Amino acid sequence: MEVASIETAPTELLGDDRLEQLMVERYPDLLRLAFLILRNLPEAEDATQVALERAWRSRAQMRSAARAPFWLRRIVVREAVRLRSSPWRVLRSPIQLTEVEPPGRHPVAPDRAERLDVVRAFERLSVDQRAAVVLHHYLEYPIADVALMVDAAPETVRSRLRLAMRRLREELRDA
């Protein structure tokens, strides 16, 4: 899930076929993003599916290939947050995933037990806080971009990040 996701010339315009191809290429990235926010794979699949539908319906607004990855991620983030807020969502049991080490990234991995502590603490954050943490601390988007993605003021994003980090500390201290 690299951030430097602009892989086409900035001036390239997206046709329907190219957009569909881009969606297929980006689907794993988008699904993983939704999963990190929702912590539930079936819900993440639902959110990603609905987000892709929304993206396709509003594709006239996005004809720049350079901005398409950002645009797709933004729709997925919003759909994930919206899904978690909806009373109509079907509650499902979270699926336990087998954790594997991503190839070639983070050569000094922390102890697995310690990592699970971090994950458990992360799961206790609100969905808004998780979205902000994933976008800023994991995907390394600047605050202004995170604000765009979650449709909130930058000050709000900063506040969510502050509260999230404080809560993570508290949870990890207790653990």
> Among residue numbers 27 through 86, which ones bind other proteins (CB under 8 A)?
27-28, 31-33, 35-36, 41, 44-45, 48-49, 52-57, 61, 64, 67, 70-71, 74, 82, 85-86
Nearest distance from C-beta of residue 28 to other proteins, angstroms: 4
Identify the CA nearest to 80 among candidates 130, 21, 152, 144.
Answer: 130
Rounded CA separation 87/63 (Å)? 34
- Per the CB < 8 A criterion, the answer to whether 127 and 84 are in contact is yes
Within 76-135, which residues bind other proteins (CB under 8 A)? 82, 85-88, 97-102, 105-106, 109-110, 114-116, 118-119, 122, 133-134
Give least dist CB 121 to other proteins, A: 9
Helix runs in 59-134, H state only:
68-85, 112-123, 127-133
| 150 binds other proteins per the rule CB under 8 A | no
Extract the tokens encoding 66.
């350079």
**Least Å from the CB of residue 87 to other proteins:** 4
Please tell me whether residue 153 binds other proteins under the rule CB under 8 A.
yes
Q: Do 60 and 18 touch, CB atoms closer than 8 A? A: no
How many Cβ atoms from other residues are within 10 Å of residue 166's Cβ? 10
Q: Which is nearer to other proteins, 124 or 162 (CB)?
A: 162
Contact between 2 and other proteins by CB under 8 A: the answer reads no
Minimum Å gap between C-beta 40 and other proteins is: 11
Q: Are 100 and 48 in contact (CB under 8 A)?
A: no
Query: If binding is defined by CB under 8 A, does position 6 make contact with other proteins?
Result: no
